[in-house]
């Protein structure tokens, strides 16, 4: 019985030795193969292409790699700069993800996922695509995707050259503003100390007095009192003037802080309007009719700070004055009202009668010829 158990363990150990040896042999063969194998071809796949066109093509990817100077064909597999290739491709803002690897047979596989633009910003200095998530990137040359175009005097909350997540840009600006507020706040400390010292000096000066000496004459004492009063008056006037100046300096510093806070609120408001604009376009894109009907959005910021839009339709030579972008329910009500006017009004009157259709007011549609 004991001999049989020993034989069983010996057999198991022998099998494991064979397995380990095979694995080690396979690893060695693979390493030798990869050290001798060179890249024989490059396979580029663009995934997640948009239904209305594409921003990335295999030809473009090949051009990027060629211009970067990174060698591929004929390079040993273990010497290929995969990280460099991914960095060259990923630096284009419209590229979402890049994955590269070399197969056992020497094929360099490059998988590129592009971002899906939701709208295009085309105003003074701006020519950028924006995704639904709020990622913005410069429109590539010769790109012509069918997405709603936003024009007008509206200015997005980021520079025209910016590429990246807009929320990240806003947070960075807010962090910079908060740091400026902290620096400004530190300027108040010596001013507060100066105010305290001046207030103390004023109290001490007001309490200053003299006593009449035992053998001092009345005339001499009254003269000293008058001199004291005159001196106190001069000193208090100087001290109070210095205190008012210190107060003004504190108020000026506080005003700078308040200006920073107001700037932060305006920045957040501009970002909220930007997100409203994206959500507005998303609503249009989700509706089959309005997706094909609305070809251009003219956006502007009113003196009140509200974001308003006009719509350029495909069906006629008129402009739809849509007004302020509110909640989703408000947007739906306006489009429902406009759809009823399309069916009951323009179908009977004609599509070229009016120059503008105004749906900004509750419960009515105002038209101008």
Together in a domain, 178 and 264: yes
At 142 the pLDDT is: 64
Give the C-alpha separation, 150 to 136, whole Å: 14
Q: Does the pLDDT value for residue 360 go beyond 90? A: no
In a domain, residue 220? The reply is yes
Together in a domain, 31 and 53: no
Together in a domain, 96 and 45: yes
At 268 the pLDDT is: 95
Angle, nearest 10°, between helix axes 218-286 and 328-341? 50
Q: How far is CA 255 from the centre of its chain?
A: 27
Together in a domain, 194 and 265: yes
The CA-based dihedral angle spanning residues 126, 128, 131, 134, taken in that order and rounded to the nearest 10 degrees: -40
In a domain, residue 174? The reply is yes
In a domain, residue 149? The reply is no
Structure tokens at 315: 């069906």
Residues 6 or more apart from 283 whose CB is under 8 A from it? 328, 331, 332
Higher pLDDT, 97 or 367: 97
In percent, the amount of the chain with pLDDT more than 90 equals: 24
Together in a domain, 93 and 109: yes
Together in a domain, 244 and 213: yes
Together in a domain, 22 and 1: yes
At 33 the pLDDT is: 45
| Chain segment 28-39, per-residue pLDDT in tens | 445 554 455 777
Give the C-alpha separation, 68 to 65, whole Å: 5
- 8 Å CB contact between 202 and 187: no
pLDDT confidence tier of residue 269, bands split at 50, 70 and 90: very high
Together in a domain, 190 and 259: yes
In a domain, residue 110? The reply is yes
Name the pTM for this structure.
0.76
In a domain, residue 139? The reply is no
Together in a domain, 182 and 242: yes
From 218, 251, 269, the end of a domain falls on 269
From 269, 297, 316, the end of a domain falls on 269
Together in a domain, 192 and 229: yes
Number of domains comprising the chain: 3
Q: With CA atoms as reference, report the closest residue to 143 among 57, 63, 65.
A: 57
In a domain, residue 121? The reply is no
Together in a domain, 23 and 57: no
Q: Calculate the average pLDDT of the chain.
A: 82
Q: What is the CATH number of the domain that holds 71?
A: 3.10.20.310
From 90, 114, 138, the end of a domain falls on 114
In a domain, residue 195? The reply is yes
Together in a domain, 45 and 28: no
Residue 9 belongs to domain spanning: 1-35
In a domain, residue 93? The reply is yes
| Chain segment 162-197, per-residue pLDDT in tens | 989 999 999 999 999 999 999 999 998 998 898 899
pLDDT confidence tier of residue 21, bands split at 50, 70 and 90: low
Q: With CA atoms as reference, report the closest residue to 328 among 259, 261, 275, 270.
A: 275
Higher pLDDT, 303 or 354: 303
- 8 Å CB contact between 343 and 337: no
| Chain segment 201-230, per-residue pLDDT in tens | 889 888 888 887 888 778 887 787 888 888
């Amino acid at each position: 019985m004991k001999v049989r158990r020993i034989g069983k363990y010996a057999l198991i150990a022998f099998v494991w030795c064979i397995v380990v040896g095979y694995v080690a042999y396979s690893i060695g063969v693979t390493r030798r193969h990869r050290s001798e194998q060179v890249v024989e071809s490059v396979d580029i796949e663009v995934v997640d292409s948009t239904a209305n066109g594409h921003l990335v093509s295999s030809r473009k990817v090949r051009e990027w790699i060629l211009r970067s100077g990174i060698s591929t064909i004929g390079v040993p597999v273990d010497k290929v700069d995969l990280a460099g290739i991914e960095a060259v491709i990923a630096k284009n803002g419209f590229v979402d993800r890049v994955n590269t690897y070399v197969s056992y047979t020497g094929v360099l596989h490059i998988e590129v996922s592009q971002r899906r633009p939701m709208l295009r910003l085309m105003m003074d200095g701006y020519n950028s695509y924006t995704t639904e998530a709020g990622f913005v990137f410069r429109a590539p040359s010769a790109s012509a995707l069918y997405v709603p175009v936003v024009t007008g005097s509206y200015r997005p909350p980021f520079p025209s050259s910016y590429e990246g997540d807009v929320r990240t840009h806003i947070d960075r600006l807010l962090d910079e503003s908060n740091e400026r507020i902290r620096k400004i706040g530190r300027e108040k400390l010596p001013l507060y100390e100066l105010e305290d010292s001046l207030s103390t000096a004023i109290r001490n000066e007001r309490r200053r007095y003299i006593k009449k000496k035992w053998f001092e004459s009345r005339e001499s004492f009254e003269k000293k009192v008058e001199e004291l009063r005159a001196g106190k008056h001069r000193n208090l006037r100087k001290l109070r003037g210095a205190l008012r100046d210190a107060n003004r300096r504190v108020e000026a510093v506080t005003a700078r802080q308040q200006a920073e806070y107001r700037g932060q609120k305006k920045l957040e408001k501009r970002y909220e309007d930007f997100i409203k604009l994206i959500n507005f376009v998303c609503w249009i894109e989700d509706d089959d009719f309005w997706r094909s009907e609305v070809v251009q959005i003219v956006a502007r910021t009113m003196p009140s700070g509200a974001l308003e839009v006009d719509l350029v339709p495909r069906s006629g030579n008129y402009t739809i004055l849509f007004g302020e972008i509110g909640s989703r329910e408000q947007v739906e009500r306006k489009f429902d009202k406009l759809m009823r006017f399309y069916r009951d009004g323009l179908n009977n009157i004609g599509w070229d009668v009016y120059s503008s259709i105004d749906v900004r007011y509750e419960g009515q549609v105002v038209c101008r010829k």
